[in-house]
Structure 1
Amino acid sequence: MWKWKQYAIPLMAGAIRKAERTAAAMEVKGFDGAGNRTRYQTMPYHKEDIFFIGGVLITAICLVLFTI
């Protein structure tokens, strides 16, 4: 039981230091948590996407079935 306590405090102190450094770096880079920062847009599926996924699945199934 004593060894657990002996390692717990330094591990927690290191984790807190790392979190503080990460928070400071994020503030410097402009990540302040305000507003919507993302530049990604949601992309809907098109019928070409569905055909491609279906083709990949059919190919994978054929490879599995015909290699046995």
Structure 2
Amino acid sequence: MSIASQNAFEFVLQFEDFYEDATLQIESFPSLTKQVEALGRVEGISEESKNFLKRLADLIRYAVERGRPIEAFAD
């Protein structure tokens, strides 16, 4: 999240707060996809983070195919 914050990736940062739900609207997917791809190319990013970003990219594609927003619920 610190890298996302340093790069002002506002769509990725919606996942920052574990105590708040986040809804990503379909209109934000092109920008979110670019931000996820850029984060995946950052030198020194952990394998765990790369795996998360890959799964997030897969989820974005799935949501686009179905025309649905992405909702993340706080736990």
User: TM-score scaled to structure 1, two decimals?
Assistant: 0.34
Higher helix residue share: 1
- Relative CO higher for 1 or 2, CA cutoff 8 Å, sep ≥ 6? 2
Higher strand residue share: 2
